[in-house]
Chain A
Amino acid sequence: GQNIDQPTEMTATEGAIVQINCTYQTSGFNGLFWYQQHAGEAPTFLSYNVLDGLEEKGRFSSFLSRSKGYSYLLLKELQMKDSASYLCAPQGSTLGRLYFGRGTQLTVWP
């Protein structure tokens, strides 16, 4: 089976840094995706990690430890528009299937 755990809610202020953690247990693993989902909109791709370590992409970075079943998404220089749900999605080894967590609702305050 699959078990994905991430915090339900987080809050932060503009300009701050926030780290959203995700732990997972999946039957087979071939990488981990992070998606951003604004209310009423489709999830949009943020990052993909297949090897251990940190992947940096502008204000967003994502880290993976395969041995620990752990990932985090780091958001720097927060902006109001970053208020959204962030979905952790490990990818199974068969058929490329994504397993989604419940998402972390991030609220950025001015």
Chain B
Amino acid sequence: EAGVAQSPRYKIIEKRQSVAFWCNPISGHATLYWYQQILGQGPKLLIQFQNNGVVDDSQLPKDRFSAERLKGVDSTLKIQPAKLEDSAVYLCASSLEGNSGNTIYFGEGSWLTVV
């Protein structure tokens, strides 16, 4: 079974530029998550989708971050304009449903460096 796919793997941009990350979840998984992991910290949830609807975006900095999941499968996360503190790994994850006990599977992440 294919895992969660993400691209690009690495990205270096200057501050105030924009960047977009793409994610393809595990086939059949209704719930998709974007996490931000800053070096030395645990992952922090940015946004959670159930099919193509947003169920939790309370920690998404909406002035610069946006995400969409059209057709309930692939998702993109965009940052515009980027700040130095956005340097982090952006992890996409998916689960069958957003319910208790459903294991969340992570992609390998997209490493962002803002200079």
User: Which A residues contact B (CB, under 8 angstroms)?
Assistant: 4, 30-31, 33, 35, 41-45, 48, 50, 87, 89, 91, 93, 95-103
Contacts and interface: CB of A to CB of B under 8 A. Distances in A.
A46 to B, nearest CB: 10
B42 A102 contact: yes
Given A44-B106, A95-B56, A97-B48, A50 B42 contact: no
B19 interface: no
B97 interface: yes
Nearest to B95: A96
Interface of B: 4, 31, 35, 40-45, 48, 50, 55-56, 91, 95, 97-109
Given A42-B91, A95-B56, A101-B42, 6 more contacts: A31-B101, A33-B104, A42-B108, A50-B101, A89-B42, A97-B98
Given A30-B101, A102-B40, A97 B45 contact: yes
Q: Which 6 A-B pairs have the closest CB atoms?
A: A100-B42, A30-B100, A42-B106, A96-B98, A95-B98, A42-B108
Contacts of B108: 41-42
B40 A50 contact: no
Of listed B50, B104, B105, residue having the most chain A CB within 10 A = B104
A96 B4 CA distance: 19
Could you say which of B4, B95, B100, B108 has the most chain A C-beta atoms within 10 Å of its C-beta? B100
